[in-house]
Amino acid sequence: MKYEQLVKLIIEKIGGKENVNSVVHCTTRLRFKLKDEQKADTDFLKNADGIVTVVQSGGQYQVVIGNHVSDVYAEIVKQTGLSEQTEAGNVDNGGSVLDKAIDLISGIFAPTLGLLASTGMIKGFLAIFTTFGWLATDSGTYIILNALGDSFFYFLPIMLAYTASKKFKVNPFLGMVIGATLVYPTISAMAPLTMMASDATPLYTLFSGTIFESPIYITFLGIPVIMMNYTSSVIPIILAIWLTSKVEPFFKKLIPDVVKTFLVPFCAALVVVPLTFLVIGPLSTWLGTAIGAGSLAVYHFSPILAGVILGGLWQVLVVFGLHWGLVPVALLNLTTLGFDPILVLTGAASFAQIGAVLGVTLRTKNKKTKGLGISAFISGIFGVTEPAIYGITLPRKKPFIASCIASAIAGGIMGFAGTKTYMVGGIGIFSIPSKISPAGIDGGFYGCLIAMAVAIVLGLVLTLIMDKSHLDEDVTPATQTHVSDVVKAETIGSPLVGTVKELSGISDEVFASGAMGNGVAILPTDGKLYAPTDGEISLVFPTGHAVGMKTTAGAEILMHIGMDTVQLDGQFFETHIEKGARVTKGTLLVTFDIEQIKAAGYELVTPIIVTNTSEYATVKAMADGDVKVGEAIIDVV
């Protein structure tokens, strides 16, 4: 019930359920794939309660919610039935090849990353415990925990079979059967290295004397099978499921409805599984090996340069959702090389980000910014940087640039130290154990720690230096008089009769944190909302409880009458203007029944927010106590 209205709003403003092909979520974002993004009211969603921002990138319509995104996602599934498991039709909504590739990769890998990270963390902590002699590798405790830590990555083909089946619209259980066949114990035991270790004699050898030399131990209907080790593999199962998406519909058309339930998977499996072992498996494994070798060649050209480039660009890629492209490369490296030297170079980015956030937080005297900064700093320690990026650094621009520079330098340090990751691990501080080599702690591990420390310090220092001339919302008037380029843009009048409150003191965390922008709150004593200045109405919420306008001087103002009053569904509100209307200061916008709203159990405290705060040096409250309509309440500089 907590997010019911928010979800209804999101679904309505993205064009309805019928405009959605699919939806998944990551740590902080809902990732929609829409049939037509033009139908979505992006400006409205960006200014809506409970939404941090909207990002359109990589063929996805990303609604940034925050750390409680999983709860919002659950409500979406509850209300609509939409999920990563369902796609409304088979509509191709266009987009570039890159957009489609990113969408495909994120759709397949995003649902797995949480468990990959959590099981990898177990492996990381086991590495610490064994390195320091706290746990013996032959103990029952180690054996059980190691099995838990290995399980997801070992059986990754089964997990990817499930998510790929959803993406390619294949029966997920058929896909999982194909994945399970690839890692079936008898099949795994026939991997080349295992057979050579057992001194088994091959029937014959194909491609002898070349890099593709392959001993043949078994045949299928007389056809030689080039066996590969498919545990923890990525490409073979994805290509196998893609093939299934072509084969399964063929049999669905061919086989009568009365026997489709069992004959379709029967026939599809009999076609796909042999083709996978005979053709797809060997070719895709060689392809994976080539990709791993290629990425390693680039890395060996200059590990330091690779670290600087990847470290510096990582947060930009995250903002646009393009970071998914490196995830398969890292997984391929882990399976083919036993370690990944590429994606690890971005590991200090979150620490650079929290260093920049710390710089803003330490300098600011504004309680709202400080509160949001502390929250973003804590979540960033654990690798969740979206609140830091969207709430603190990116709107201020220079702190974001400072964090990118710090991350680039830290990436170069990791490249110089030869830091590698040896298992899929957590993010943030939980990623540290995954840098421990099977041989024990080495220079690469220490390089990782140094890089992370440097990232925090540089992020902090560069933010304080680079952002020195950027007047934050807490800069005092005395300081402003010494800066020649400060221009007083406008003064916002009160749209209500009532009592001014500090924004940070209201119950709604989104407004109180300043994530939506700076401003004030007013507890109204008269049920009339007026235009606070001249401008154009940019938003009239259907329920009448919220109005947005863009002033003649350019400030974007949101006036939200009460807390959670959207749930009244328009009761006790009457609007007197429409979107697009030009208004002058003092124009009546909304009337509302104070007593009825109170009787319904809702707070009436009303945030007055400048939503484009980041475009100004200062957005500062001017009034305190009782105010009348038109009295100055916010100074915009």
Active site residue ranges: 26, 560
Q: In what order do the strands lie in the sheet with 29-34?
A: 20-25, 29-34, 60-64, 53-57
Asked if 490 contacts 553 with a C-beta cutoff of 8 angstroms, the reply is yes
Strand partners, 34: 20
Residue where the block lists tokens 């890292």 = 330
Return the closest-CA partner of residue 343 out of 379, 289, 306, 316: 306
Cα separation of 213 and 196, whole Å?
Answer: 14
Q: How many CB atoms lie within 10 A of CB 430?
A: 18
The region, left, alpha or beta by phi > 0 then psi within -120 to 50, assigned to residue 405 is alpha
Inter-residue contact 543 to 569 (CB < 8 Å): yes
**Dihedral over Cα of 203, 288, 438, 27: its sign:** negative
What is the DSSP code (8-state) at residue 526? S
Q: Is 481 exposed, middle or buried (0-12, 13-18, 19+ CB in 10 A)?
A: exposed
d(CA 485, CA 531): 29
DSSP letters of 416-469? Answer: HHT--B-S---SGGGGGGGG-BTTB--HHHHHHHHHHHHHHHHHHHHHHHHTTT
DSSP single-letter state for residue 276? I
The C-alpha atoms of residue 352 and residue 455 are separated, in whole angstroms, by 4
Closest CA to 285 of 360, 341, 228: 228
List beta partners, residue 627. Answer: 498
The separation between the first and the last C-alpha atoms of the chain, rounded to the nearest angstrom, is 40
Residue with tokens 């740590």: 27
Answer for the pair 395, 614: CB distance below 8 angstroms, yes or no: yes
- Among the listed residues 88, 79, 164, 155, the one whose alpha carbon sits nearest the alpha carbon of residue 119: 155
Gap between the Cα atoms of 230 and 88, Å rounded = 32
Indicate the residue type of 551.
T
What's the DSSP call for residue 16? Answer: -
617 CB-near residues (< 8 Å, 6+ apart): 470, 471, 472, 475, 486, 637
Rounded to whole angstroms, how far apart are CA atoms 164 and 406? Answer: 37
Q: Is 164 helix (H, G, I), strand (E, B) or coil?
A: helix
Please list, residue by residue across 335-366, b when 16 or more beta carbons sit within 10 angstroms of its beta carbon and e when fewer do: bbbebbbbbbbbbbbbbbbbbbbbbbbebbeb
| Helix residue ranges, H only, 344-422 | 349-363, 367-381, 386-388, 394-396, 398-417
Q: d(Cα 277, Cα 220) in Å, to the nearest integer?
A: 9
